[in-house]
Amino acid sequence: MNNEILNFINRRFKIDCNWTNGNCLWFAIILNKRFPQSQIYYLPIEGHFIIKYKENFYDFTGIIIPKENPILFEKIKQTDKLWYNHLIRDCFM
């Protein structure tokens, strides 16, 4: 599956549309929709959304190794509605 994710990224996203700088939530949603067994995570210090599939994390650049502890986006939604709403407002809308 890792190769399938990397192949999907390389095949469908040849042009960087600010996928790591402003549109990372949209990219994480696209990857999550294409690979529904993945989960969306947030890096709060970096302010960056990524997905996790099995043991690997991914963004537009491919497999990444987070430099901080990723937080499951669904957990933010469940435990801190205000923070979640601000992330949606600032990153999704």
Q: Would you call 71 helix, strand, or coil by DSSP?
A: strand
Tally of structural domains, the chain = 1
Burial of 66 from C-beta contacts in 10 A (0-12 / 13-18 / 19+): middle
Domain span at residue 52 reads 2-92
Residue 12 to residue 45: CA distance in whole angstroms: 29
Tokens of 82: 């205000």
Give CA torsion, residues 38, 39, 40, 43, to 10 deg.
-110
pLDDT tens digits along 54-73:
899 999 999 999 999 999 99
Q: How many CB atoms lie within 10 A of CB 48?
A: 20
pLDDT tens digits along 10-52:
999 988 898 988 899 999 999 999 999 999 999 999 999 999 9
